[in-house]
Structure 1
Amino acid sequence: MLRNIVLAAALLVTTAAAPAGVDVTVPGPQGALAGTLIDPGKEAPVVLIIPGSGPTDRNGDNPLGVKGGVYRQLAEALAAKGVATLRIDKRGMFGSKAAIADGNDVTIGAYAADAHAWVDMLRKRSGRPCVWILGHSEGALVALQAAQDPKGICGLILVSGAGRPLGEVIRAQLRANPANAPLLPQGEAAIDQLEAGKRVPAASLPAPLQPLFNDRVQGYLIDMFAHDPAKLIAAVKLPVLIVQGDKDIQVAVADAELLKRAQPAATLKLVPGINHVLKPVASDDRAANVATYGNADLPISPEVPDTIAAFVRK
């Protein structure tokens, strides 16, 4: 009986409701930027969550097959540990659709400017002196760019972030899948051109490569490829936490180590058994890893929010 009572108490703790999220906005270039704030109290550190690449929404979902609300889960887990979060939609997408006419007409610098707008709003709204910026995947590059102007930023949390220019990362991703072998010459040639600041007609590429190098996103790719995360982190004078899973098939452990090498003062946390979307993976099977992206019932690893909460509350 006692065992059952203890188990019931444990379940009550783990399923306790997080504070309700509140929709908030700040002005964007042409219309509002939108996000969801969860604030467990005035003493709580606050973390701004910058989404990853493509049409990824504030919850971490993506119509291309990512489900389960990775950022929503992270925000709720952090709230339970006394950490406030604001998760956002990128300019031109979802709730921030009105901010610009074309969600592809963006730069890393523009996303960094939006991050500062959110930081300013959070500081004014809450009276907190500073805000932590958490960037996931491509969002880590945005966080690094934002931190080049450290005003109002407590520090950075870089989750599954590249340590190399993104052109090199995409090359590695293409090479990692044996099925891509016939596409590699044209795919790598396209990356070479974009790194040189030159566009490539997407229609000239094999059909499987055309979505990756869509004509509408090439301006953004040219801008993104020009940023070197290692150089950016080397210039950061704020506290930095680097979180990386060892089952990540998009960004390697070596990337996290490159970031740490470029900024020795940073804290590096390697989390065993989790992938790019922070979900547990039991094997090295690529198909099984990818399958977790679309499994809405699979929760993120609790070690990630545990690590982040401990860092920002130090």
Structure 2
Amino acid sequence: MNDFDRRTLLTATGAGLTAFLAGCQSSGPAQSDPTETTETTSTTTSTAEPTETTTVSTTADPAELERRAKGFVGLLDDGSYETAHERFGPKAARQLGPDQLKQVWSRLEEQNGAFLSLSNFETGEQGGYDVVTAIANFERGQRKVVLAFGEDGITGFRVRQTAANWSSPSYADESAFTEQSVSLDAPGDCSLGATLTVPKEVQEAPGVVLVHGQGPSDRDGSVGPNKPYKDLAWGLASRGVSVLRYDKRTQACDVDLAEITIDEAVTDDALTAVERLRETPTVASDDVVVVGHSIGATLAPRIAARDGDLAGIVMLAALARSAPRAIRDQNLYLARLDGTVTNPEQQQLDRANRTAERIRSLDVPDDEVIYLGGDEYWRTLREYDATATAKRLDVPQLFLQGERDYQVTVEDDLARWKRALGDRSNVTFQRYPKLNHFFMPGSGKPGNEEYFQQNHVAEAVVSDVASFAERVTDDSAE
């Protein structure tokens, strides 16, 4: 339990709060995983420190400590900051108020996406206090949460960075390619950081542009310790394919999410990336393939239609259902995952259903952001007919789908694509029994927590994408 000691039981107001918030933020260049930074603690104030005469009764039951930790974090996630604050002991309550709790939690969700769950609990005793350490899993990252409990309630609350040590997948040969940092122009004064990965000693190579999934994302698609887009880039470059990946505009730029459209969030920057890749000496202008993931896959036909000269498109886990339907289905799946739906899970499900209904009915005021965007985002996404757009294309299309994906599914999404395009000779469908939404292998019922276990995109997926890129670019040259 060396993450937490009596000298740092609570990061408090003033300079201490600054240190606390610094620990919740990413630092360094945009391509870095925001969970790799180290928390600043030099200005942390000492509070709630027990003295030799302090008598503290401890809770020996780890299950009870886990329950209390989940309850506190659940209140933060629900926006019940006053109620969460009431769980503090008197001294801690004086030093960290409800408004500061709101500031901290809002910053966490702004940078890491929606909160998903607590996992990896450790419990112990330090300095006469019961201490719980857990991993808070968000949509795009993790944080370590440390809570200390005394007889009067919570005496310490701390959020720390987690180690996120990505390692090269076994199928990547780092001697076979080079990488260079480039940038893409975006509207206003913003530019998107990008990485160009090019095979060594080749005269000509197929080119691939990777297009992100839903929400803000860096160029690597970082989720906890995993970097699926970097896996793909290194694996493809090891097989002779040039790859351009870039930071998403909603990650890299100061954008008004209440006004942004799907084209401003995804399509326009993907087209800019395609043009930038065509400037690479080894990539012919008609040898570029767009590889989209999740919403990036759904919009790949739109990108192809707008560009008009792509060699092909690859759709990794392409959503075909409406966004409101997917939100309802995903939350229902998670609520039922362990076979029971608890009261907090039902409350979360009810909130998700209300959010989905507001998106469906476009009940979003002009200046409000709901889930991932405002009324313009959801309106333009609803107006886009992905399957109809794909049917109008004459370029080769490859659909890849993990059978353990509960976010985009074989039954609800891939089946729709097959009904629309299954009779086309230049459209291919490939399924992978053991792969999840990020095309990483696993077993059993999939859930959010497995995204935060170190893993890599399956080699079979890299091989299939490389083979497709080589085939369609060879065909376009004939």
TM-score tier, shorter chain, comes to: 0.7 to 0.9
* 2:73 match: none
In structure 2, the residue matched to 1:8 is: none
Q: Could you say which residue in structure 2 is the equivalent of 1:257?
A: 415
Aligned to 1:37: 196
Residue matched to 2:81: none
Mark the runs of 5 or more structure 2 residues left unpaired by the alignment.
1-169, 472-478
User: What is the Cα deviation at residue 219 of structure 1?
Assistant: 4.1
Given that 2:212 and 2:294 are in contact with CA atoms closer than 8 Å, whether structure 1 keeps it comes out as yes
Q: Distance in 1 between matches of 2:372 and 2:315?
A: 29
Superposed displacement of residue 197, structure 1: 2.3
Say if 2:268 is the partner of 1:107. Answer: no
Q: Deviation digits for residues 280-302 of structure 1, max 9, x if unmatched?
A: 11212x4xx43321123x22211
Match 1:199 to one of 364, 382, 386: 364
Deviates more, 1:161-170 or 1:245-254: 161-170
How big is the shift at 1:200?
6.8
Q: Which moved more, 1:101-110 or 1:24-33?
A: 101-110
* Segment of structure 1 superposing worse, 175-184 or 142-151: 175-184
Query: Are the structure 2 counterparts of residues 202 and 293 from structure 1 closer, same or farther at C-alpha, using a change threshold of 3 Å?
Result: farther
How far did 1:229 drift? Answer: 2.4
The verdict on how the C-alpha distance between 1:165 and 1:42 changes in structure 2, with shifts beyond 3 A counting, is farther
| Cross-structure match for 1:6 | none
Once the 2 structures are TM-superposed, how far is the Cα of residue 146 of structure 1 from its aligned partner?
A: 1.0
Please name the residue that 1:46 is paired with. 207
Over the residues paired in the alignment, what is the CA RMSD in angstroms?
2.6
Q: Please report how far the alpha carbon of residue 218 of structure 1 lies from its aligned counterpart in structure 2 after TM superposition.
A: 5.2
Normalised by the length of structure 1, the TM-score is 0.81
The Cα offsets for residues 68-110 of structure 1, whole Å up to 9 and x where unpaired, read as 111001111111111111111111423xx2xx54466432222
Gaps of 5+ in 1: 1-12, 204-211
Displacement after TM superposition at 1:152 (Å): 2.9
Residue 128 (str. 1) matches residue 284 (str. 2): yes
Q: CA deviation at 1:184?
A: 4.0
Selected match of 2:222 from 45, 58, 61 = 61
Higher relative contact order, structure no. (Cα contacts within 8 Å, ≥ 6 residues apart): 1
- Aligned equivalent of 1:118: 273
Structure 1 equivalent of residue 60 of structure 2: none
Secondary structure at 2:194 match in 1 = strand
**Aligned position for 2:18:** none
Tell me, yes or no, if structure 1 residue 167 matches structure 2 residue 320: no
Give the superposition deviation at 1:239: 0.7
The separation in 2 between residues aligned to 1:215 and 1:132, in whole angstroms, is: 27
Residues 21 and 226 (structure 1), Cα distance of their counterparts in 2 relative to 1, 3 Å cut: same
Percent identical among aligned pairs is: 26
Instruction: Give me the whole-angstrom Cα distance separating, in 2, the residues matched to 1:75 and 1:234.
Output: 28
Relative to structure 1, the CA distance from residue 189 to residue 49 in structure 2 (aligned partners, 3 Å threshold; closer, same or farther) is same
- Shift in alpha-carbon separation, 1:49–1:14, aligned structure 2, 3 A: closer
AA matched with 1:249: Y
The structural deviation recorded for 1:227 is 2.8
CA distance in structure 1 between the aligned counterparts of 2:322 and 2:203, rounded to whole angstroms: 38
Where 1:132 maps in the other structure, the secondary structure is: strand
Aligned length in residues: 283
> Which has the larger strand fraction?
2
Structure-2 change in CA distance of 1:14 and 1:176 (3 Å): closer
Runs of 4 or more consecutive aligned structure 1 residues displaced over 6 Å after TM superposition: 200-203
Amino acid at match of 1:116: L
Alpha-carbon deviation of 1:226?
A: 3.6
Alignment of 1:173-252 (within 5 A): 173-177=330-334, 178=336, 179=341, 180-199=345-364, 213-214=370-371, 217=374, 219-252=376-409
Match of 1:276 among 429, 437, 440: 437
Q: Is the contact made by 2:258 and 2:367 (CA closer than 8 Å) also made in structure 1?
A: no
Judge conservation of contact 2:220–2:228 (CA < 8 Å) in 1: yes
Q: CA deviation at 1:134?
A: 0.7
When the two structures are superposed, what TM-score results if normalisation uses the length of structure 2? 0.55
Q: d(CA) in 2 for partners of 1:214 and 1:103?
A: 10
Choose from 151, 169, 182 the match for 1:24: 182
More displaced, 271-280 or 146-155?
A: 146-155
Aligned partners of 1:299 and 1:132: how far apart in 2? 22
Q: Tell me the distance in 2 between the aligned counterparts of 1:15 and 1:189.
A: 44
Matched-pair contact (CA < 8 Å) for 1:51–1:135: yes
Amino acid at match of 1:32: S
Letter in 1 for 2:462: P
Cα 1:243/1:14, change in 2 over 3 Å: closer
**Secondary structure, aligned partner of 2:370:** coil
Asked if the contact 1:251–1:276 (Cα under 8 Å) also holds between the matched residues in 2, the reply is yes
Q: Do residues 299 (structure 1) and 462 (structure 2) align?
A: no
Q: CA deviation at 1:119?
A: 1.2
Q: Is the 8 A contact 1:50 1:142 kept in 2?
A: no
Contact 2:217 2:250 in 1 (8 A): no
**Superposed displacement of residue 198, structure 1:** 2.1
